[in-house]
């Protein structure tokens, strides 16, 4: 074994590689904990607002944990552990990976944002009748001149409901009203803003948990359905979902009316063919414990460093 590799291993054993270990192991441990939370979230039909908040916390956690390692990364960039390999990894490696992950996520976010803006630019004002309905519901409505089936909310700060001509033609007046009620729930809940932030955070790590963002989208759809059916017939909303879901293109920053992944589940719930299965209290506790444990992970580096300092020197 070459002498420099041996000196690297000795330095690791003496606790000099703690930052490196923390940087690799903490995001992986967070991903495992978030996966556990998402598993329990998936076991229930998320009809309550608490479950939506759990789903938001789970989606945000991978990014929060990764960003929480920022101080560790900057500290290691200034540290000069003696041996060569350890020094290169510490001083440049961690910073390069950290900055690379954040920059690539920001770039992807910019592309998604631009595609949403382009969608808005090609929309038109709605007809007088539809504009009157939008005013009555308190939403901003734009019409996409396309026969594709589109019914989404876009616009991060000022949510706008975009509906295509094809969708307007395929829905009855009552179905359109039900669809817009669902979209209004997304606008009121500021779901496009949440979706943008959570989409960024869910992937701002080298160990992303894609199912966590999907769980949040699923929960927000159920919550919007629940809010809509307080004022419209649930069967009418179910038929609007089926009509819109025929050909829909998904975009992470858009809150759409219908997604094929959970369509069957939502329609069954709306027409009363399925009872809402509430997450049992034990599952809520497990989700909370998993997320709280993940949230404290960025502190692990400091604790491990102190532990090594006290007991290994
Ligand atoms: Zn929706």
Angle at 191 between CA 241 and CA 265, to 5 degrees: 35
- pLDDT tens across 203-224, in order? 999 889 989 999 899 889 888 9
Report domain extents, the chain.
13-311
CB neighbours of 161 closer than 8 A, spacing ≥ 6?
Answer: 134, 139, 140, 141, 142, 151, 152, 153, 180, 183, 184, 187
Residue 12 has pLDDT above 60, yes or no: no
CA of 285 to the centre of ligand 1 (A): 28
Backbone torsions φ then ψ of 255, nearest 5 degrees: -100, 105
pLDDT at site 19:
75
What is the pLDDT confidence band of residue 283, given thresholds at 50, 70 and 90?
A: confident
pLDDT at site 260:
66
CA of 186 to the centre of ligand 1 (A): 7
- pLDDT tens across 85-123, in order? 667 777 778 888 899 999 999 999 999 899 888 989 999
CA of 212 to the centre of ligand 1 (A): 17
Residue 271 has pLDDT above 70, yes or no: yes
CA of 117 to the centre of ligand 1 (A): 19
CA of 252 to the centre of ligand 1 (A): 12
pLDDT at site 288:
82
Rounded distance between C-alpha atoms, residue 126 and residue 139, angstroms: 12
CA of 250 to the centre of ligand 1 (A): 11
Cα→Cα distances 104→111, 200, 232, Å: 11, 10, 43
Residue 182 has pLDDT above 90, yes or no: yes
CA of 262 to the centre of ligand 1 (A): 11
Residue 45 has pLDDT above 80, yes or no: no
Q: pTM (2 decimals)?
A: 0.82
Between 277 and 143, where is the model more confident?
143
- pLDDT tens across 18-38, in order? 777 788 888 999 999 999 888
What is the pLDDT confidence band of residue 185, given thresholds at 50, 70 and 90?
A: very high
CA of 271 to the centre of ligand 1 (A): 17
């Amino acid at each position: 074994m070459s002498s420099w590799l041996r000196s690297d291993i000795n330095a690791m054993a003496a606790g000099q590689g703690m930052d490196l270990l923390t940087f690799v192991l903490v995001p992986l441990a967070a991903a495992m904990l978030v996966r556990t939370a998402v598993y329990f979230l998936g076991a229930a039909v998320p009809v309550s607002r608490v479950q939506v908040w759990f789903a938001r916390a789970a989606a945000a956690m991978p990014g929060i944990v990764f960003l929480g390692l920022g101080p560790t990364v900057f500290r290691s960039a200034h540290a000069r552990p003696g041996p060569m390999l350890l020094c290169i990894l510490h001083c440049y490696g961690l910073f390069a990976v950290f900055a690379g992950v954040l920059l690539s996520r920001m770039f992807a976010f910019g592309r998604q944002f631009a595609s949403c803006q382009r969608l808005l630019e090609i929309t038109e004002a709605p007809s007088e009748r539809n504009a009157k309905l939008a005013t009555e519901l308190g939403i901003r409505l734009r019409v996409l001149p396309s026969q594709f089936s589109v019914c989404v909310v876009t616009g991060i700060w000022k949510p706008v409901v975009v509906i295509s001509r094809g969708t307007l033609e395929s829905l009855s007046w009552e179905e359109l009203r039900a669809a817009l009620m669902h979209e209004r729930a997304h606008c009121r809940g500021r779901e496009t803003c949440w979706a943008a932030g959570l989409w960024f955070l869910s992937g701002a790590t080298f160990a992303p948990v894609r199912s966590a963002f999907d769980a949040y989208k699923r929960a927000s759809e159920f919550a919007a359905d629940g809010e809509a059916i307080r004022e419209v017939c649930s069967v009418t909303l179910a038929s609007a979902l089926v009509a819109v879901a025929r050909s829909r293109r998904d975009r992470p920053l858009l809150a759409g009316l219908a997604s094929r992944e959970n369509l069957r589940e939502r329609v069954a719930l709306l027409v009363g063919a399925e009872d809402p299965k509430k997450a049992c209290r034990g599952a809520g506790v497990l989700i909370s414990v998993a997320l709280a444990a993940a949230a404290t992970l960025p502190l692990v580096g400091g604790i491990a460093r102190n532990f090594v300092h006290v007991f290994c020197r």
